[in-house]
Amino acid sequence: MSARDHEKPARPGDHKVPEAPAAPDYTPGVDIIHQVWNTPYVYGDLTFIQAMGTPRGAYTARIGSLDELMELDKKREEDGFPRKIRIGKLVKPGRGGHQKVIVVPTTVEEKFVHDPNFKQDEEGGGAGGSGDGAEGEVIGEQPVRPQEGEGEGTGPGQGEGGPHEMESNAYDLGKILTEQFSLPNLRDKGKKRSLTKYTYDLTDRNRGFGQLLDKKATLRQVVETNINLGRIDPARDIDTSEFLVAPRDRIYRILSREKDFESQAVVFFLRDYSGSMSGKPTEVVVSQHVMIYSWILYQYAGQVESRFILHDTEAKEVDDFYTYYNSRVAGGTKVATAFRLVNEIVQQENLARDYNIYVFHGTDGDDWDTEGKESIPEIEQMMTYAARIGVTIAENSYGTPGETEVEKYLKGSGLLEKKKNLIRLDVMSESAEEPRIIQGIKNLISE
């Protein structure tokens, strides 16, 4: 289906990120298939024939605010019904350290419906197709991840409607998480430290003497004095040479000590980006990490620095969340490399002295280091300085639950019991939904 340009889905405003992931190399001679709409019900006349785009506009036109919505949702709980609002897909913070998160309040109306993901037999499976090609012949390729500028799962001309998005900053999200989903407040913020530094600057003012004359302030003071003395008559032109200047009219800047707020916490986000993580495990881990990030940001009133580390068999630090979220590589997995890199960074930058340090690691549980011989010592070293280490395992659906390497060696090490206040493990399925992910955060950060 060749969509006309103006039929292209309306993209949420904030997505224009210059470095879209590179498109895979396609095999010459086959079609590139961007999207497959195999349900007749996504097609609607207005979008399809009349090329009317999805209406643009925030849902706030109808709903007062996110707070109001959450307030109603809270009332449900009081009335004895489970909450319905999920805070939905959280789109990543922008580049350059902007703490921007798109909060999309979503909900679903539960009914008795057949499970669409369930496929019992081959009959009736697959999608419709037309054109040439013998049975068994590959006719097209479709990137697994949607490319920039293509929505996933939206109908022609955006049959499903663009998200009524709401921009909120990560701080607000942290607030919502803390208040509405009763995430615990941080009680013990780790070792007591001086959280401020002092710098000296010419910021204070003093009358009569000082290091630097503040001319503007002095002139103002001179005028004021002369008004008080009745030497200025507004009816006539003002002759400044007539002004009297008192010694105390001179205002100087003086050197003074200033509090300089520093970040109180550093959060390391670590993620396995090996081949096995692609798709759902990544979604789960990254969603959780955005929320943790937001929550810590709220807890520390914005004074948080975050560092992002990706690893497969090697670890590397990346600059921003976007890269963190979007990178992928096909390869093996060595969890220890990421932990080692954290230890190195902490040591080199001497972070342990001044910061509360949090380390969150997301993985699908695969590790070539099956017994944790390398990982466990690194973890033990991290525990000497970290306020909390949280390991999230998003289990692949094809594995046996509870049988991943990381889970086995962490449990085997006994650290989870012995150092319960320092390290936590949360294991969930790769298809975990938002309530479960939030529950996972509670598991990771509760006292």
9: left (phi over 0), alpha (psi -120 to 50) or beta: beta
272: left (phi over 0), alpha (psi -120 to 50) or beta: beta
Tell me, residue by residue from 65 to 94, as one string, x for binding to another protein by CB under 8 A and - for no binding. Answer: ----x--x--x---xxxx-xxx-x------
Interface region with another protein, contact rule CB under 8 A, candidates 101-109, 315-323, 339-347, 404-412: 101-109
Of 18, 96, 123, 348, which one interacts with another protein (CB under 8 A)?
Answer: 123
Q: By CB under 8 A, is residue 96 in contact with another protein?
A: no
Max Cα separation, the chain? 103
| CB closer to another protein, 41 vs 200 | 41
Report the DSSP beta bridge partners of residue 86.
106
Kindly write down the DSSP assignment for every residue of 192-231, as one continuous string. ----EEEEEEEEEEEES--SEE-HHHHHHHHHHHHHHTT-
CA distance 416 to 339: 17
Of 131, 230, 234, 247, which one interacts with another protein (CB under 8 A)?
Answer: 131
Q: Which of residues 372-401 bind another protein (CB under 8 A)?
A: 398
| CB closer to another protein, 26 vs 261 | 26
| CB closer to another protein, 110 vs 237 | 110
Residue 206: alpha-carbon gap to chain centroid: 46
Q: By CB under 8 A, is residue 124 in contact with another protein?
A: yes
| CB closer to another protein, 159 vs 372 | 159
- Cβ 176 to another protein shortest distance, Å: 15
- Cβ 194 to another protein shortest distance, Å: 45
Interface region with another protein, contact rule CB under 8 A, candidates 35-43, 171-179, 221-229, 302-310: 35-43
- Residue 232: count other Cβ atoms within 10 Å of its Cβ: 16
Q: Going by C-beta distance under 8 Å and a sequence separation of 6 or more, which residues neighbour residue 98?
A: none
Q: Which of residues 282-341 bind another protein (CB under 8 A)?
A: 328, 330
Backbone angles phi and psi of 240, in degrees to 5: -65, -20
CA distance 207 to 15: 53
Q: By CB under 8 A, is residue 105 in contact with another protein?
A: yes
Report the DSSP beta bridge partners of residue 356.
265
Of 5, 45, 242, 417, which one interacts with another protein (CB under 8 A)?
Answer: 45
- Cβ 366 to another protein shortest distance, Å: 14
- Cβ 61 to another protein shortest distance, Å: 7
Tell me, residue by residue from 242 to 271, as one string, x for binding to another protein by CB under 8 A and - for no binding. Answer: ------------------------------
Q: By CB under 8 A, is residue 224 in contact with another protein?
A: no
Of 11, 12, 14, 37, which one interacts with another protein (CB under 8 A)?
Answer: 37
- Cβ 68 to another protein shortest distance, Å: 10
Q: Going by C-beta distance under 8 Å and a sequence separation of 6 or more, which residues neighbour residue 361?
A: 270, 271, 272, 335, 338, 339, 389, 390, 391, 392
Closest by CA position to 10, among listed 58, 49, 43, 45? 58
CB 270 within 8 A of CB 342: yes
- Cβ 64 to another protein shortest distance, Å: 10
Of 5, 18, 96, 127, which one interacts with another protein (CB under 8 A)?
Answer: 127
- The SS3 of residue 46 is helix
- Cβ 445 to another protein shortest distance, Å: 25
CB pairs under 8 A, 24+ apart, for 220-228?
221/249, 221/250, 221/251, 222/249, 225/249
- Residue 117: count other Cβ atoms within 10 Å of its Cβ: 6
- Cβ 358 to another protein shortest distance, Å: 30
Cα–Cα separations (whole angstroms), residue 316 to 20, 310, 342, 353: 20, 6, 10, 23
CB 53 within 8 A of CB 7: yes
Of 13, 39, 212, 418, which one interacts with another protein (CB under 8 A)?
Answer: 39
CB 152 within 8 A of CB 146: yes
| CB closer to another protein, 69 vs 296 | 69
| CB closer to another protein, 246 vs 330 | 330
Of 14, 141, 354, 380, which one interacts with another protein (CB under 8 A)?
Answer: 141
Tell me, residue by residue from 158 to 187, as one string, x for binding to another protein by CB under 8 A and - for no binding. Answer: -xxx-xxx----------------------
| CB closer to another protein, 48 vs 243 | 48
- Cβ 407 to another protein shortest distance, Å: 20
CA distance 371 to 367: 9
Interface region with another protein, contact rule CB under 8 A, candidates 20-28, 235-243, 288-296, 353-361: 20-28
CA distance 299 to 163: 29
Q: By CB under 8 A, is residue 22 in contact with another protein?
A: no
- Cβ 81 to another protein shortest distance, Å: 7
Cα–Cα separations (whole angstroms), residue 411 to 336, 345, 407, 418, 423: 16, 26, 6, 11, 11
